[in-house]
Amino acid sequence: MIFDALTTFGHEQVVYCHNKDAGLKAIIAIHNTVLGPALGGLRMWPYKTEQDALNDVLRLSRGMTYKAAVSGLNLGGGKGVIIGDPNTDKSEALFRAFGRFVNSLNGRYITAEDVGIDVNDMEWVLKETEYVTGVHQVHGGSGDPSPFTAYGAVQGLMAALQARFGNEEVGKYSYAVQGIGHVGMEFVKLLREQGAKVFVTDINADSVQRAVDDHGCEAVALDDIYDVAADVYSPCALGGTVNHATIPRFKFKLICGAANNQLATEDCGDEVERRGILYAPDYAVNAGGLMNVSLEIDGYNIERARRMMRTIYQNLGKIFAIAKRDGIPTYRAADRLAEERIATIGKIRLPHMGQSGTRFLGRMRGL
Residue 361: exposure state from Cβ atoms within 10 A (0-12, 13-18, ≥19): exposed
Of the residues 25, 79, 90, 318, only one is catalytic, namely: 79
Beta carbon of residue 157, minimum distance to ligand NAD (angstroms, whole number): 14
Amino acid at 310: R
**CB closer to ligand NAD out of 71 and 201:** 201
Cβ-proximal residue to ligand NAD, closest one? 181
Contact present, 72 and 311 (Cβ < 8 Å):
yes
Beta carbon of residue 349, minimum distance to ligand NAD (angstroms, whole number): 28
**CB closer to ligand NAD out of 128 and 134:** 134
Rg (CA), the chain: 21
Task: Enumerate binding residues for ligand NAD (CB under 6 A).
Answer: 145-146, 149, 178-184, 201-204, 207, 222, 236-238, 258-260, 286, 289
**CB closer to ligand NAD out of 32 and 234:** 234
Beta carbon of residue 250, minimum distance to ligand NAD (angstroms, whole number): 16
79 is catalytic: yes
Amino acid at 270: D
Cα separation, 127 vs 118, whole angstroms: 15
Contact present, 39 and 110 (Cβ < 8 Å):
yes
CA angle, 226 as apex, 222 and 228 as ends, to 5°? Answer: 95
**CB closer to ligand NAD out of 14 and 308:** 308
Amino acid at 136: H
For residue 34, the Cα-to-chain-centroid distance in whole angstroms is 18
Q: Residue 129 in 3-state DSSP?
A: coil
Beta carbon of residue 284, minimum distance to ligand NAD (angstroms, whole number): 11
Beta strands in 268-327 (DSSP E): 278-279
User: Dihedrals φ, ψ of 151, to 5°?
Assistant: -60, -45
First to last CA, the chain: 48
Beta carbon of residue 241, minimum distance to ligand NAD (angstroms, whole number): 8
**CB closer to ligand NAD out of 28 and 237:** 237
| Residues that are catalytic | 79
